[in-house]
Copies of this chain bind each other. A is one copy, B any other.
Amino acid sequence: MFEKVRVVLVEPSHPGNVGAVARAMKNMGFERLYLVKPRRFPDEEATWRAASAGDVLDSAVVVDSLFEALSDCAFAVGTSARERRIPWPILDARRASAEMVTRASQSEVALVFGREDRGLTNEELELCHLHVNIPTSDAYRSLNLAMAVQILCYELRMQVLFEDLPESSDSDWDAPFADVESLSRFYEHLEQTLIDIAFLDPAAPRQLMKRLRRLYNRIQIDEMELNILRGILTETQKVAHELGALKTRSTQGEAE
């Protein structure tokens, strides 16, 4: 897919944007940039903004018309912000990316971006099979050119990657998670310790253990963490027992 997709910029006026587009593309795994009549190219500012994507600029194809940039493409998608008088097939960035990935399995496809100030002309949009819209806020509709490229290249990349990315936030965990039996022993140990330090009165336990169970059950505790917590409990009990023994001895001393 990544080799079948070209990004086409029509008459970009700011070299900084061209550089930022090159970087956005390479960050997402795309390398084929076409420039239709860029105002200034090559340009130092473009090279600076491209950072480590200078190779994308070096291999960019400069052409005189959008028609030339698309001539060997079987599917072209044009970015469009405005409503058209005659509606054209249009999808949001995510759904359009899904469509492009499907098409790219068979043919060369192009993603076309217009001028910073005026976008694509009607004639240019009519060269495209599908229009794509990035749903921006009513408070500020106009996306920077490189940002639009970034979002669409990201969406294309995610079409390919998403299913294979871990669904769970702890998929790469370093210890196995504790099972119910170990947890149950932990809760018993915790309860006994709380009695030992006189925080829990077995005669009036109220909801204390329930609240602590709910607290610890909201995390999936791993075995290493459980060992640490039980170690803390054991040491706490030692301190409590030592204090108890000292008190007993001193009471006996007084009594003698």
A residues bordering B, Cβ < 8 Å?
A: 20, 23-24, 26-29, 51-53, 86-87, 89-92, 94-95, 99, 130, 134-137, 139-144, 146-147, 150-151, 154, 157-158, 161-162, 165-167, 169-170, 172-174
Contact = CB atoms under 8 A, between A and B. Distances in A.
A135 B161 contact: yes
Contacts of A86: 174
Contact of A53 (B87, B89, B95, B140): B140
Contacts of A173: 87
Given A29-B139, A150-B151, 17 more contacts: A20-B144, A20-B147, A23-B144, A23-B147, A24-B144, A26-B139, A51-B144, A87-B173, A90-B169, A91-B166, A91-B169, A95-B169, A99-B169, A135-B158, A135-B165, A147-B147, A147-B150
A38 B95 CA distance: 38
Given A20-B144, A140-B53, A95 B150 contact: no
Given A140-B27, A142-B52, A150-B147, A157 B135 contact: yes
A154 B151 contact: yes
13 contacts: A20-B147, A24-B144, A27-B143, A29-B137, A29-B139, A89-B170, A90-B172, A92-B162, A94-B162, A95-B169, A130-B169, A135-B158, A151-B154
A167 B95 contact: yes
